[in-house]
Every structure is written in structure tokens, then in C-alpha cells.
Amino acid sequence: MRHGRYPFIVGFLIVPVTIYVTFVIAPYLQAFYLAMTNWRGVSANPKFIGLDNFQRLLQDDIFWKAIRHHGVLLLVLPLVAIAIALVFAFLLNVGGGSRGGTLRGVWGSNFYRIVFFFPQVLAVVIIGVIFRRVYAPDESGLLNGLLGVFGIDPIPIMADRNIALFAIIAVLVWQAVGFYVVLFSAGMASVPKDIYEAAVLDGAGRASMFFRVTLPLLRDTLQVAWVYLGIAAFDAFAIVQVLSIEQGGPDGATTVLGMEIYRNAFSYSQMGYASAMGVALFFVTITFAALTLRVSRRETIEL
């Protein structure tokens, strides 16, 4: 097995690493360098100013506001999306009880599985356009029209600073659940049937089956889901940009780091400062990922 090992390793790595370094790492390194300049994005010669941008960052209220919003997103988005997806995945796969000795999903589970996945195929641009109408602040909007049927006055959803961020999280959940249903379904299907059947024979109800059998066996999948959604919580830029009023408003109530980076880079032409924010975002995300993986690490390597 030693024979031809290094040529093989190099041969397999050379193309992906070259592509990746050329198109991703090289631009990013430049961004790291730019974070230490006062570059305005349109000149060819940035001026080096050391860590000034980072110092400014620490005193920037809107930066901390964005960080707080990421905190909220990180807390709410994965929890809600995973909880809903888990329940639905359970119902769709083993929720139908046992019939003829095998467990099955509830009636119509294929239909639900297809429908739930729909939002995944929509571009964020499209979702933004749709939900701008769903959340419209008068009765021509879907949600306020519905409230109107019950005699409730229209709520200016995206314009209310207490509601807007949660309205955006709701859209993210709306979009995400389908994918995680499929992901968890796959995880559940890979749990050997006889475990479930043994549990049924032991007289386990569905609730206890869910908590005692399904959840522990889905550990790895859950971890993956958590990382995906955590990273999504640090992004959220696109949806904020297309859906919020005043791009991150009202009055900064829905802003995220991506939005502020974008604003500084392209609207204020403060590329250097924007890059500094990007570097900050990079370290925050990396820290999150490292913590998640460390906390939930388990020996799965068989080598």
C-alpha cells in the first residue's frame, strides 16, 4: 500500500487546492490585508493604517447591534427549525404506527415531503419578493388580509422594530424546514427497523419512542443540522437585504453584519472598514463552528 502513495495524494489534491487557492484564498487574503488599509474601493492604491479599522469597530454601535442580532438568530433559528423539522420527519417516517409489523409514515407523507421541500428551490431574491407581499403592511398583504378576516387591524410587520427581526427569522424557518425534514428522514431511515420494532413490542408510545430511540440515534445528523443553521444565522444577509425596509431597518432593527459590510463597502465606499468587519465576522463564525464541533464531538473515526 505504500507504493505510489505520495503521487496519489498530490494527484488528488492538486486540482482542487489550486482552484480553491486561486479563487477563494487569494481574494480573501487580500481582504485581510485591505482590512488594515483605508481603501475606498475605487483607487488602485490603498493606504496602510494598521489596526485603526478594528479600533473603530469596537466603538461602532451598529456593529454591536448586528452582533446582537446574530445572537438572537443563533438562538432562535436552529432551535425552531430543528424542532419543527424533527417532529415532521418523525411523523412522516414512523408516525403512522406499525402495520403488518413494519413502521410507516402517516398517510400522504410523500405529498408532504415534496411540498415541504418547495421553498428550497426558490432563490432568495424570489423569496424576498414574495414575502414583501405576504408581509405587506395593509390589508392587501396575505398576513394582514388574514388578520382582517378576524377583525384585527393591520400590523406594519416589517416596519415594526419589535417584530421585524422575528418576521425575518420566520421566513428563514419557512425556507429551512423542508431541507431538514429530508435530512432527518434520511437519518431516521438509517436507524435499523428492528430497534423501532423492539421498542413497539416493549409498549413504547410514540412520544417515548421519539425521545428514547430517535433522538439519540440522530445525534450526528443533528450536529450537522446545527452547524448548517448556525452558519446560516451568521449569514442571513441576502434575505435581510431583499426583505427589510431601508436595508436592515427600521432604524437598524434587522441589520446583520453582512448588511453592514455591504453598506460600508458599496454605499459608503469604505472598503477597508468593510473588510475589517468581514474579518471580525470570519472570526466569530470560526469560533462558533469550532465550539459546536468540540462540544458535540464524538469518536466516529474507525481508522
Partner 1 sequence: MSVPPDSTSDLTRRTLLRRAAAAGLLATPAAGLLSACVGGGEDEPTDQAEGEKSATNPLGVDGKAPLEIYIFNGGLGTKYATDVHVPSYKKAFPDAEVKFNQAEEMATVLQPRFTSNEPPDMVNNAGSKLMDQGALVQAGQVQDLTELFNAPSLDIPGKTVKDTLVPGTIEQGSFNGKPYTLNYAFTTFGLWYSDKLFQTNGWTPPKTWSDFTALLDKAKAAGKTGYAYAGANAAYYQYLVILTTAAKIGGADVLKNIDNLEDGAWTAEPVKQAAQLWGEIGAKYMDKAHLGLQHTEVQLQQNQDKVVFYPSGSWLENEQTKDTPAGFNYAVVPVPSATASDKLPQTAIYAAAGEMYFVAAKGKNPRGGMEYLRHMLSKEGAKGFTQLTKVLTVVQGATEGLTISPGLTSSETMLKAAGSDYFAYRWDTWYKKMDDECRAATNELMFNGGDANKFVTRMQKVADEVKKDPSIEKFKR
Partner 2 sequence: MARIDTPAPPRGDAPARRPGGPAQDQRREIGLLNGLAHISLAIWAIIILAPLLWMFLASFKTNTEMYLGNPFSLPSSFSLDSYVRAWNEAHVGRYFLNSLFVVGLATAGTMLFGSMAAYVLARYKFIGNRVIYYLFVSGLAFPVFLALVPLFLIVNNMGLLNTYTGLILVYIAYSLPFTVFFLTAFFKTLPNSVAEAAVMDGASHTRLFFQVMMPMARPALVSITIFNIMGQWNQYLLPVALMQGENAQEHWVLTQGIANISVQAGYEADWAAMFAAVVLSILPMIVVYAFFQRQIQAGLTAGAVK
Could you say which of partner 2, partner 1, none residue 272 binds, taking C-beta under 5 to 8 angstroms by partner kind? Answer: partner 1
Find the angle CA(295)-CA(223)-CA(261) to the nearest 5 degrees.
Answer: 85
Q: Which amino acid is at 250?
A: P
Enumerate residues 44-63 that contact partner 2 by CB under 8 A.
none
CA dist 291 → 236, 286, 297 (Å): 20, 8, 10
> Which SS3 state, helix, strand or coil, does residue 98 take?
strand
Q: Which stretch binds partner 1 (CB under 8 A): 18-26, 192-200, 213-221, 226-234?
A: 18-26
Q: Is 104 in the site for partner 2 (CB under 8 A)?
A: no
User: Which residue in 64, 68, 114, 138 binds partner 1 (CB under 8 A)?
Assistant: 138
Question: Among partner 1, partner 2, none, what binds residue 117 when CB lies within 5 to 8 Å by partner kind?
Answer: partner 2
Considering CB distances under 5 to 8 angstroms, the limit depending on partner class, which of partner 2, partner 1, none binds residue 115?
partner 2
- Could you give phi then psi for residue 16, rounded to 5 degrees? -60, -40
Crossing angle between the packed helical segments 26-34 and 271-295, to the nearest 10 degrees: 120
Identify residues 146-205 at the interface with partner 1 (CB under 8 A). 154, 156-159
Within residues 76-115, the interface with partner 1 by CB under 8 A covers: none
For residue 104, the 8-state DSSP code is: -
> By CB under 8 A, which span of 22-30, 63-71, 122-130, 276-284 interacts with partner 1?
22-30
Identity of the residue, 161 or 290, whose beta carbon is nearer to partner 2 in the bound complex? 290
**272-291 mask for partner 2 (x: CB under 8 A)?**
--xx--x--xxx-xx--x--
b/e for 194-231, b at 16 or more Cβ within 10 A? eebeebbeeebebeebbeebbeebbeebbbebbbbbbe
Amino acid at 132: R
Contacts with partner 1 in 256-285 (CB under 8 A)? 263, 266-270, 272-273
- β-pairing verdict for 98-99 and 102-103: antiparallel
Strand partners of residue 98: 103
Least distance from partner 2 to the Cβ atom of residue 53, Å: 13
**Can you give the C-alpha Rg of the chain in angstroms?**
24
Alpha carbon distance 209, 180 (integer Å): 20
Cβ–Cβ under 8 Å, residues 183 and 224: yes
d(CA 9, CA 235): 34
Which partner, partner 1, partner 2, none, binds residue 19 by CB below 5 to 8 Å per kind? partner 2
249 binds, among partner 2, partner 1, none (CB under 5 to 8 A by kind): partner 1
- Write the interaction track for partner 2 spanning residues 109-138; mark x where CB under 8 A is met and - where it is not: -xxxxxxxxxxxxxxxxx--xxx-xx-x--
Rounded distance, CA 228 to CA 109, Å?
Answer: 25
Q: How far apart are CA 297 and CA 31, in angstroms?
A: 32
Only one of the segments 178-186, 208-216, 250-258, 281-289 lies at the binding site for partner 1 (rule: CB under 8 A); that segment is: 250-258
Q: Specify the residue, 160 or 197, whose C-beta has the smaller distance to partner 1.
A: 160
Among 54, 166, 174, 210, binds partner 2 (CB under 8 A): 174
Choice from 190, 202, 216, 268 touching partner 2 (CB under 8 A): 190
Q: Does 5 bind partner 2 (CB under 8 A)?
A: yes
